[in-house]
Amino acid sequence: MLNFLNLWFGVRMPVSRIAYAASGFGLMTLKYIVEFLVIWWQGNEFFTPVQFLNPLLSSRTELLHAAPPWVGWALFLWSLPFLWIAVSMSVRRAANANGSPWLGFLVLVPMVNYLTMLVLCLQPTGQSDRWMTVKLPQQQASANVTKGSVLGVLAGLMMGAAMLSISVYGLESYGAALFMGTPLMMGVITGYTANRFASVGYFSSSSLGTIAVLLAGATLLLFALEGLICVLMAFPMLLPLGALGGLMGKAIADATLPSARNVAASIAFLPLLALAEVTLESSPEYEVRSTVEIAAPPEVVWQHVIRFPELPPPQEWYFRTGIACPERATIVGTGVGAVRYCQFNTGSFVEPITAWEPDRRLAFDVDEQPPTMFELSLYPDVHPPHLDGYLRSKRGEFRLIPLPGNRTRLEGSTWYEFDMFPQSYWTLWSHLMIHRIHLRVLDHIKDLSESQQ
């Protein structure tokens, strides 16, 4: 068992093509079976192998729209070890096949990853083992350790700044290349550079990768490129990748002696990945559904669904930190064609009515929407590109279901698109945010309706 753990999670054991193929296909099958069972249990949906191999990583969230929020977070955490195994084993397998270990990072590129895995499965091991065979004479002087650590972190920061410029401000894309490939490669470059001057150890290399990502987040805040809440939401994904990258950078530095050309080529694939994402990306539609039960009949609840007066000031901390907060709703006209205006503290939603079934159902499209949040920052005006049009509300609906005892179950749904990847991670946050907005409105309608009884 210990050998399997070293093979999967370690960075020192060479990887043969048999071990690579058996581990890859075996763990992929295990991952699919577990996710299939969870989605069937919590979402009552059939999770197909095609959806499992979806390069946009969005189908799980779509199938779990009615599941508790913890299910999505559990699947995200469940996926992290498999990501590490894929990268770690691919890097070592590429080196054992007499190739550059940096080629193993191609498993991060959607669609190309499957071809990379197939090639590594078929490529025979070289006549000489190129993993853990090169040992550079490295002094342990504190000056070398300090110099390597500082230069490593600076190299990681420079790569992160370059990818931010290319992806966000050049291609206007918040993709997996930015949120997954960049922190991982920042860690790799940091750990690799630091260990070219002196062996700083695996824990220190991992810590340096984490520090590089932390400093990148602090730089975004310092130069008013992002707000605090968005940076904090990204860190649960970015920091583990930076730490794992630092480990892998240390392993590559200890085990191989690649040329600067190989290192540069490994970094160049990230802009290419970002460009591919722009051309191939799609925007699936997600539904968030929230429900409350109200001790009032549907005809009373209906009057407060179509319009409701000013809500009390929010007490929840997340609304106080900048998340868009609903304040009131008004309507102009009645029936299909009327226009509902839902006022938030960031602006107003303009919602033309598409279905008007008194005491039963109200549906509407969203023609205009305000920003999703105000950025929390020391600066008065922080407005990163993702606040404009990356989360798009498409339509909404209220359903009133009569219950025994003169009660009503009120369901509210929002359908939206989200253009930030990996969607399987970011929609965890957007679902949670929209659900909290729903509950603020639904609970207000509940209080208004029950006060009339």
Q: Mean pLDDT, to the nearest integer, of 98-108?
A: 82
The per-residue pLDDT for 129 is 61
Question: Which of 258, 280, 302 represents a domain boundary (last residue)?
Answer: 280
Amino acid identity for residue 419 in this structure: D
The per-residue pLDDT for 57 is 46
Q: Give alpha helix (H) positions in 292-390.
A: 298-306, 317-320
Residues 37 and 176 in one domain: yes
Domain that holds residue 261: 2-280
- Contact between 241 and 187 (Cβ < 8 Å): yes
Backbone φ/ψ region at 5: left (φ over 0), alpha (ψ -120 to 50), beta: alpha
CB count in 10 Å sphere of residue 391? 23
Burial 247-277 (b: 16+ CB within 10 A, else e): bbbbbbbbbbebeeebbeebbebbbebbbbb
Residues 228 and 291 in one domain: no
Give residue 162's Cα distance to chain centre.
Answer: 20
Structure tokens at 48: 């197909």
Residues 361 and 424 in one domain: yes
**Residue 59 vs residue 298, higher pLDDT:** 298
Query: Which helix (DSSP H) or strand (DSSP E) does residue 271 occupy?
Result: helix 260-280
Q: Rounded to 10 degrees, what is the CA torsion of 76, 82, 83, 85?
A: 160
The per-residue pLDDT for 3 is 79
The per-residue pLDDT for 286 is 86
Residues 60 and 120 in one domain: yes
Amino acid identity for residue 18 in this structure: I
Amino acid identity for residue 77 in this structure: L
State how far the Cα of 93 lies from the Cα of 116, in Å rounded to an integer.
11
State how far the Cα of 243 lies from the Cα of 87, in Å rounded to an integer.
13
The per-residue pLDDT for 273 is 75
State how far the Cα of 237 lies from the Cα of 259, in Å rounded to an integer.
30
Beta strand spans in 333-423 (E): 339-344, 347-357, 361-365, 391-403, 407-418
**Residue 44 vs residue 369, higher pLDDT:** 369
Residues 423 and 303 in one domain: yes
CB count in 10 Å sphere of residue 12? 12
Residues 6 or more apart whose CB falls under 8 angstroms from that of 394 comprise 285, 365, 366, 415, 416, 417
DSSP code for 166: I
- The strand pairing partners of 350, in sequence order, are 341, 368
Residues 232 and 128 in one domain: yes
**Residue 363 vs residue 134, higher pLDDT:** 363
Q: Rounded to 10 degrees, what is the CA torsion of 16, 21, 26, 32?
A: 130
Task: Give me the chain's average pLDDT, please.
Answer: 86
Of the candidate ranges 193-207, 263-277, 279-293, the one whose mean pLDDT is the lowest: 263-277
Question: Which of 248, 280, 312 represents a domain boundary (last residue)?
Answer: 280
Residues 228 and 363 in one domain: no
**Residue 273 vs residue 103, higher pLDDT:** 103
The per-residue pLDDT for 370 is 92
Tell me the CATH number at 325: 3.30.530.20
Residue 302 reports pLDDT greater than 60: yes
Q: Mean pLDDT, to the nearest integer, of 343-357?
A: 95
Number of folded domains in the chain? 2
The per-residue pLDDT for 53 is 78
Residues 271 and 300 in one domain: no
- Distance linking the first and last C-alpha atoms of the chain: 65
The per-residue pLDDT for 274 is 78
Residues 195 and 136 in one domain: yes
The per-residue pLDDT for 240 is 92
Dihedral of CA 234/235/238/241: which sign? negative
Give residue 228's Cα distance to chain centre.
Answer: 17
DSSP code for 312: P
State how far the Cα of 350 lies from the Cα of 366, in Å rounded to an integer.
6
Question: Which of 228, 251, 280 represents a domain boundary (last residue)?
Answer: 280
C-alpha distances in angstroms, 333 versus 1, 61, 108, 306, 441? Answer: 69, 36, 52, 11, 21
Q: Tokens 């590089």 belong to which residue? A: 212
Q: Mean pLDDT, to the nearest integer, of 67-75?
A: 77
**Residues 377-401: pLDDT tens digits?**
888 878 788 888 789 999 999 999 9
Residues 322 and 427 in one domain: yes
Residues 233 and 180 in one domain: yes
Q: How many residues does the chain have?
A: 453
DSSP-derived pairing of the beta strands 285-294 and 326-332:
unpaired
Q: What is the band of 264 on the pLDDT scale with cuts at 50, 70, 90?
A: low
Residue 146 reports pLDDT greater than 50: yes
**Residues 208-226: pLDDT tens digits?**
999 999 999 999 999 989 9
The per-residue pLDDT for 318 is 86
Q: What is the DSSP string of 7-74?
A: HHH-SSS---HHHHHHHHHHHHHHHHHHHHHHHHHHH-----HHHHT-TT--HHHHHTTTS-HHHHHH
The per-residue pLDDT for 322 is 85
- Contact between 61 and 427 (Cβ < 8 Å): yes
CB count in 10 Å sphere of residue 224? 16
Residues 108 and 135 in one domain: yes
Structure tokens at 413: 């749904």
Q: Mean pLDDT, to the nearest integer, of 279-300?
A: 87
Residues 6 or more apart whose CB falls under 8 angstroms from that of 222 comprise none
